[in-house]
């Protein structure tokens, strides 16, 4: 089972690259599934229902979220009706939508996708470690392929989660920082991990935004209106080959495509 996990899709440039090229990428890489973090797909912060529909129609099987998932008001209703759009599972009780799901596609092996939000340097949410334990208890044994999007700021928290879930999930893939790391590996008990999958958006930018406004904000400490960079976009993510019978990842690598 070959899976591509795309790092945070950012703004119109990221959406345009995905909608324009992902179907060809699926063919070229012979992908079985594509999972992507889409929480910054609309204007670089949050995701609208229109953007979510567009991305799900472009060849993405499952969209995950993060701390900006509910930035746009219209997305709450879409979370309630779409079974392919996830928000962090450890948000406080009452949040619309679901934080994890099991998918049983026709003609393919079943798989589970879990979306978790970190707490270090982030807004307070429920404990992601306790939430992960609870979710794993609800995934049946006939679904060994289990992908976790851990949307978190701190490298230490992401690494800790990967080791915490080692041997119990197929992969723990980090998102949120928009900077792809170079530490793709398979841990001792068989779980694959990449601290951050990076960003699907304008490559020559400050995390997706025009650098000039970001520099001015950092130099003056005064508020600035950040603008999505118009530089050419790039897809970044993790490419995994998974033994569908056992859920074990055979290979994982950081992946980029302009």
Catalytic annotation, residues: 68
Beta strand 111-117 with 146-151 is parallel
Backbone angles phi, psi at 144, to 5 degrees: -75, -20
Q: Are 213 and 225 in contact (CB under 8 A)?
A: yes
Q: What is the three-class DSSP state of 163?
A: helix
Structure-block tokens of residue 258: 């302009």
Structure-block tokens of residue 73: 């008001």
Q: What is the three-class DSSP state of 140?
A: coil
Say how many C-beta atoms besides its own lie within 10 A of residue 28's C-beta.
10
Where are the extended beta strands (E) located within the chain?
2-6, 8-9, 33-37, 62-64, 100-103, 111-117, 146-151, 171-175, 185-186, 192-194, 199-202, 233-242, 249-257
């Amino acid at each position: 089972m070959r899976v591509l996990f795309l790092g945070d899709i950012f703004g119109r440039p990221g959406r345009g690259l995905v909608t324009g090229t992902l179907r060809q990428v699926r063919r070229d890489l012979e992908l079985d599934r594509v999972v992507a973090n889409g929480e910054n797909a609309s204007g670089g912060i949050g995701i609208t229902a229109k953007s979510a529909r567009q991305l799900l129609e472009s060849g993405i099987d499952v969209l995950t979220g993060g701390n900006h998932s509910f930035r746009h008001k219209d997305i709450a209703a879409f979370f309630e009706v779409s079974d392919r759009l996830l928000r962090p599972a450890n948000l406080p009780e009452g949040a619309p939508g679901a934080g994890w799901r099991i998918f049983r596609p026709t003609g393919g092996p079943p798989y589970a996708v879990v979306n978790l939000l970190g707490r270090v340097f982030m807004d307070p949410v429920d404990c992601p470690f306790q939430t992960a334990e609870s979710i794993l208890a609800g995934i049946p044994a006939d679904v060994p392929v289990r992908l976790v999007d851990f949307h978190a700021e701190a490298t230490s928290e992401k690494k800790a989660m990967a080791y915490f879930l080692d041997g119990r999930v197929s992969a723990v893939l980090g998102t949120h920082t928009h900077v792809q790391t170079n530490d793709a590996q398979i841990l001792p008990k068989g779980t694959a991990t990449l601290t951050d999958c990076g960003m699907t958006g304008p490559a020559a930018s400050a995390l997706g935004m025009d650098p000039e406004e970001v520099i001015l904000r950092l130099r003056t400490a005064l508020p600035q209106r950040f603008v999505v960079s118009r530089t050419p976009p790039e897809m970044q993510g993790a490419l995994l080959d998974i033994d569908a019978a056992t859920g074990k990842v055979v290979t994982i690598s950081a992946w980029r495509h302009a």
